[in-house]
């Protein structure tokens, strides 16, 4: 397999700032105290980056928690049966304005399971932010009452990594988003093949 940069680090940072502005446009009050729930392991970098951008916009009372999800292991195809472990106390989550942070929405099974579990915490509100999404591979019907903020959509079913996303535990700490391909490609070819270049509303 060959790895090609798909989204350079500088562009990823711009995308994070765009998502923060979308989130800001959703909430009426910057002082209400959002509870950011990062999905581990892949979402840890985007959670940190997005949290800093929201702080710059005035969200100083944002708190943080994590949920551990495992549906890939060292595979490159999701099992579709995620195992979840919430790493925050119930009292830290219950009744809060919860913003779930994903690195990548693939088939949607992990996110569906997380949202189902969160309903038991009687949140004041629920919303989701993701750096990347694969709409062509989505297997769930997205609920109309939960806002979804997407950084960029991907075409087809490419295997991407970097910026917290791994390829069998490799390339997680790359500052760029890369794509794994069977044949060598230029970045321009990779972006044309796998990246929806228009901004996601």
Q: Which residues are catalytic?
A: 106
Ramachandran category for residue 122: left, alpha or beta (phi over 0 → left; psi -120 to 50 → alpha):
left
Name the nearest CA neighbour of 123 among 91, 87, 90, 93.
93
Measured CA to CA, the distance from residue 126 to residue 26 in angstroms comes to 11
| CB 20, CB 57: distance < 8 Å | yes
Measured CA to CA, the distance from residue 128 to residue 98 in angstroms comes to 8
Name the nearest CA neighbour of 149 among 165, 133, 173, 169.
133
């Amino acid at each position: 397999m060959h790895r090609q940069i798909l989204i350079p680090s500088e562009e990823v940072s711009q995308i994070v700032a765009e998502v923060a502005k979308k989130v800001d446009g959703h909430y009426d009050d910057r002082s209400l105290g959002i509870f950011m729930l990062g999905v581990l392991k892949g979402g840890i970098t985007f959670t940190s980056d997005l949290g800093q951008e929201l702080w710059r916009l005035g969200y100083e009372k944002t708190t943080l928690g994590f949920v551990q999800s495992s549906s890939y292991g060292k595979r490159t195809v999701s099992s579709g049966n995620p195992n979840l472990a919430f790493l925050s106390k119930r009292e830290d989550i219950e009744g809060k304005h919860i913003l779930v942070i994903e690195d990548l929405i693939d088939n949607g099974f992990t996110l569906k399971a997380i949202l189902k579990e969160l309903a038991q915490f009687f949140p004041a509100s629920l919303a989701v932010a993701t750096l990347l999404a694969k709409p062509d591979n989505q297997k769930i019907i997205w609920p109309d009452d939960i806002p979804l903020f997407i950084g960029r959509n991907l075409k087809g079913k490419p295997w991407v990594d970097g910026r917290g996303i791994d390829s069998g535990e490799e390339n997680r700490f790359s500052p760029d988003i890369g794509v794994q391909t069977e044949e060598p490609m230029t970045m321009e070819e990779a972006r044309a093949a796998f990246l929806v270049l228009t901004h996601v509303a």
